[in-house]
Amino acid sequence: MWNLSISFAGPRSGMSRNQACEVLRFMKGIHPTRICHGGARGADTEFHGLAIQVPSVQLIRVRPSTLENQIDQWTPGTIEREKDMGSITLVVEPPERPHKRNSKVVDDGFYLLITPNTWTEQRRSGTWMTYQRAKVKCTPIISIFPSQGEMDHQEEHGHYEEWSL
């Protein structure tokens, strides 16, 4: 089996129901074996719950931030209460400053999957900062926007193609 890794970024406000459905459908369609997310409350936590439902996932890497409101999300006590993950390996990295953490999230994936809560880039947004890092690295980006579950895929050469599932 080919090892495909997907990194994820999304807002602390969480995903829309439509986004979550499209994320799950997308992941079940491409069969990733490794997943990485930033461990923040909101979309990262929701993505974690979706990744557990994908039969091909073998490893989930969590890269927490040092932000005060996120630091306790992945402590040993919370990991022990994690839902049954079956044969999935959970790796929780030490917390890092947001910019460095976001860069490592991008580095861990072949694709970056984002579920922004806006259609346009926002300043001071971890989701959009991670998106910018992926663009600089020419990492393919899959964006599932808040309404209609529409997906765009940015090729390494910078043009956009619509993906429909």
Q: What is the mean pLDDT of residues 22-50?
A: 93
Residues 6+ away with beta carbon under 8 Å from 34: 3, 4, 5, 6, 57, 58, 59, 60, 61, 108, 109
pLDDT digits (tens, 9 = 90+) for 117-146: 876 666 767 787 888 889 888 999 998 987
Write the DSSP string, 132-146: HHHHHTT--EEEE-T
- The two three-digit tokens of residue 154, written as one number: 């940015």
**Residue 165 confidence (pLDDT):** 34
**pTM flag (> 0.95):** no
Confidence of residue 111 (pLDDT cuts 50, 70, 90): very high
Does residue 113 or residue 68 have the better pLDDT?
113
Going along the chain from its start, the domains and CATH numbers come out as 5-159 (3.40.50.450)
Does residue 73 or residue 7 have the better pLDDT?
7
| Amino acid of residue 139 | T
For the chain, the farthest-separated pair of C-alpha atoms sits apart, in whole angstroms, at 44
Torsional sign, CA 52, 2, 151, 102: positive
**Residue 73 confidence (pLDDT):** 62
Does residue 2 or residue 94 have the better pLDDT?
94
Using DSSP's 3-state secondary structure scheme, residue 35 falls into strand
Confidence of residue 71 (pLDDT cuts 50, 70, 90): low
| Amino acid of residue 159 | H
Residues 6+ away with beta carbon under 8 Å from 27: 6, 50, 51, 54, 57
The average confidence (pLDDT) of the chain is 79
Contact 40, 126 (CB under 8 A): yes
